[in-house]
Amino acid sequence: MPIILDKVSHIYGEDTTMPVRALDNVSLVLPDGQFIGLIGHTGSGKSTLVQHLNGLMKATSGAIYFNGEDIDSDGFDRKMLRARVGLVFQYPEHQLFETDVFSDVCFGPKNLGLSKKEIDLRAYEALKLVGLEDDYFYQSPFDLSGGQKRRVAIAGVLAMKPDVLILDEPTAGLDPRGRDEILDQIARLKQETGITVVLVSHSMDDVAKYVDRIIVMNKGRVLYDDEPKEVFKRYRELEAVGLAAPQVTYIMKALREKGYDVSDEATTIGEAREEIKNYFARLVAARKERQGAEDA
């Protein structure tokens, strides 16, 4: 179910003295099965953009098509859209309200009017997908830790079985371990279900490891839309808009500037390690060759 945005603009407070242009002519295609990172500085319009994708916000101008249908046309089933395009907000644990974890996850599918059996099944599957142990299912969500609450909230959206999952800063306020756990869980989920995932973040380090496409937003416009490698090559431009390439990219660049012949395209620690190992292997090979030549 691809989503297509055609010149979407959104203006806050249009009829006031201080209108704010949060989105400015954004045109994008989000095809099936991609893992997309949506990056931007605070106030760049990324949160506004994702709220357009499931029809929570209405574009001031431009159109959005879901599966070929204009989501703003009369008779378009917006409830269906919200189930198909699952949106997990920032700090989603603040939306929990039920007395136990399981019922809270049931809220979404219940609203879809499914049978009791189907609702329970989906809630169970969703909680399994986010890796929450059975022991917690009937506890109050308010007794869980921050990371666990967040997983419950994500499960609440997953239980609707969306085709597209959008996560708005899913790691905000978590410690490094909680952050890695959530992100790994999302990556695994992506692999298991094959759904489209849009990961909204302001941290390049968070997304570089996982996504296969990065959209950089700045002042309501799409600045770059490319593979991570290509985007991180423009690290100077990224810095100019308050973002940065992953830290490991800077290390590789520094090595290169010192005269080590390594590629500076690595964006994850794994890639960097391989690159450095290769470099040493080349060094050793070159030395052996030289020695061989001297011996001869």
Partner 1 sequence: MLRDITLGQYYQAESVIHRLDPRVKLGTTVLFIISLFAFDGFWGYGVAALFLGIVIKLSKVPFKFMVKGMKSIVFLLSVTVIFNLFLTPGEPLVQIWKLSITREGVRLAVLLSIRLGFLIIGSSVMTLTTTPNQLTDGLERMLRPLNKMRVPVHEIAMMMSIALRFIPILMEETDKIMKAQLARCADFESGNLVRRAKSLVPLLVPLFISAFRRANDLAMAMEARCYRGGDHRTRMKPLHYEKRDYIAYLIVIGYLVAGVAAGKLIPVLLGGVVL
Q: Give contact residues for partner 1 (rule: CB under 8 A).
A: 51, 54, 56, 79, 82-83, 86-89, 92, 94-97, 107-108, 111-112, 142, 156-157, 160
Backbone φ and ψ for 219, nearest 5 degrees, come out as 50, 45
Q: Using DSSP, state whether 70 is helix, strand or coil.
A: strand
- Nearer Cβ to partner 1 (124/279): 124
Nearest approach, Cβ of 199 to partner 1 (angstroms)? 16
Nearest approach, Cβ of 111 to partner 1 (angstroms)? 4
> How wide is the angle at C-alpha 274 spanned by C-alphas 270 and 279, nearest 5°?
145
Distance (Å, whole) CA 127 – CA 120? 11
- Nearer Cβ to partner 1 (111/291): 111
Beta strands 164-168; 196-201: pairing state: parallel
- Nearer Cβ to partner 1 (49/83): 83
Look up residue 192 and give its amino acid.
E
- Nearer Cβ to partner 1 (78/290): 78
Nearest approach, Cβ of 74 to partner 1 (angstroms)? 17
Q: Hunting for tokens 């999302």 — which residue is that? A: 186
Backbone φ and ψ for 210, nearest 5 degrees, come out as -110, -40
- Nearer Cβ to partner 1 (172/269): 172
Beta strands 213-218; 221-226: pairing state: antiparallel
- Nearer Cβ to partner 1 (54/196): 54
Distance (Å, whole) CA 285 – CA 291? 10
Nearest approach, Cβ of 136 to partner 1 (angstroms)? 19
Q: 125, 205, 129, 218: which is closest to 171 by C-alpha?
A: 205
**Residue 115: partners with Cβ closer than 8 Å, 6 or more residues away:** none
Nearest approach, Cβ of 135 to partner 1 (angstroms)? 23
Nearest approach, Cβ of 95 to partner 1 (angstroms)? 4
Q: Using DSSP, state whether 163 is helix, strand or coil.
A: coil
